[in-house]
């Protein structure tokens, strides 16, 4: 079972050259992803004079995040595995595919990358607000938690099926493409309700820069629960039944 393979690792592991390179890869991938994703929302606000959300704006957000994540995962895949998401890293940890020590290093890099991207956006746009994720009218925090659990489950399940599963074979760019597409599709579903984060770092960056923490916990609890469920379900049903092969720690 997946959780039987959870490994803590050693403190020295996080300071090894491979781990440091992987952390830098996560940092830069996150900068690329958040700058494009968050920046597209700021550009929409600029074009509309901070007008109300519209269906076209939701589609634009979906496309920008899907394209940017496709690129961010692709450029980091050969070095760090291209997690670009603390919830994905948590799912990999739960499945025994990455040690806790390396996971912590990834989380630090991912969070820093998101903050740096939002700071760059604030500077380059002349001080425009990097809006934090928030709940729409009528959506309770627990509604949003369920949204985040289900959407992140779909994301991490996709990661396992296309990038982690030892039986996946050589599928090239299919994994980053599928991962980008599921995020884009989920934004079309949940974007109007809670912003459809699925990624604690993506929520953390603008929260830090705007210093807005209302209901911020939702965007950690939901994704981490969804990631854990997806890792356990996929590993138990589809990987354990065929035997598990240890995978390199830098590539899930």
Q: What's the number of CA atoms in the CB half-sphere (13 Å) around residue 234?
A: 28
Q: Contact, 167 vs 240, CB < 8 A?
A: no
Show me where the domains of the chain are located: 2-239
Mean pLDDT over residues 154-160, rounded?
Answer: 97
pLDDT for position 247: 40
Burial annotation 32-49 (CB, 10 A radius, 16+ → b, else e)? bbbbbbbbbbbebbeeee
pLDDT for position 226: 98
pLDDT for position 138: 96
Confidence of residue 3 (pLDDT cuts 50, 70, 90): low
The distance from CA 66 to its chain's CA centroid, rounded to whole angstroms, is 12
Q: 3-class SS at 214?
A: coil
The CATH code for residues 2-239 is 1.20.1080.10
Give tens-digit pLDDT for 213-243: 999 999 999 999 999 999 999 999 999 765 5
Is the model's pTM score more than 0.85?
yes
* Count of C-beta atoms within a 10 Å radius of residue 27: 22
Compute the mean pLDDT over every residue in the chain, rounded to the nearest whole number: 92
């Amino acid at each position: 079972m997946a959780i039987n393979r959870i490994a803590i690792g050693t403190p020295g592991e996080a300071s090894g050259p491979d781990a440091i390179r992987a952390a830098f890869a996560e940092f830069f991938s996150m900068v690329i992803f958040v700058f494009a994703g968050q920046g597209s929302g700021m550009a929409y606000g600029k074009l509309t004079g901070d007008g109300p959300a519209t269906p076209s704006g939701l589609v634009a957000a979906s496309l920008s995040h899907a394209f940017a994540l496709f690129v961010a995962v692709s450029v980091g895949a050969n070095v760090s595995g291209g997690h670009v998401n603390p919830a994905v890293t948590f799912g990999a940890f739960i499945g025994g595919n990455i040690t806790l020590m390396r996971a912590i290093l990834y989380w630090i890099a991912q969070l820093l990358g998101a903050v740096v991207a939002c700071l760059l956006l604030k500077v380059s746009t002349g001080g425009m607000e990097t809006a934090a994720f928030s709940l729409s009218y009528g959506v309770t925090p627990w509604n949003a938690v369920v949204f985040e659990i289900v959407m992140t489950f779909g994301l991490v399940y996709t990661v396992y099926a296309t990038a982690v599963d030892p039986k996946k074979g050589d599928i090239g760019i299919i994994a980053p493409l599928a991962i980008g597409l599921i995020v884009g599709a989920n934004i079309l579903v949940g974007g109007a309700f809670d912003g459809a984060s699925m990624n604690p770092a993506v929520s953390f960056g603008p929260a830090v820069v705007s210093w807005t923490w209302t209901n911020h916990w939702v965007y950690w609890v939901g994704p981490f629960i969804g990631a854990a469920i997806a890792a356990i379900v996929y590993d138990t049903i589809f990987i354990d039944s065929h035997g598990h092969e240890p995978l390199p720690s830098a590539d899930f």
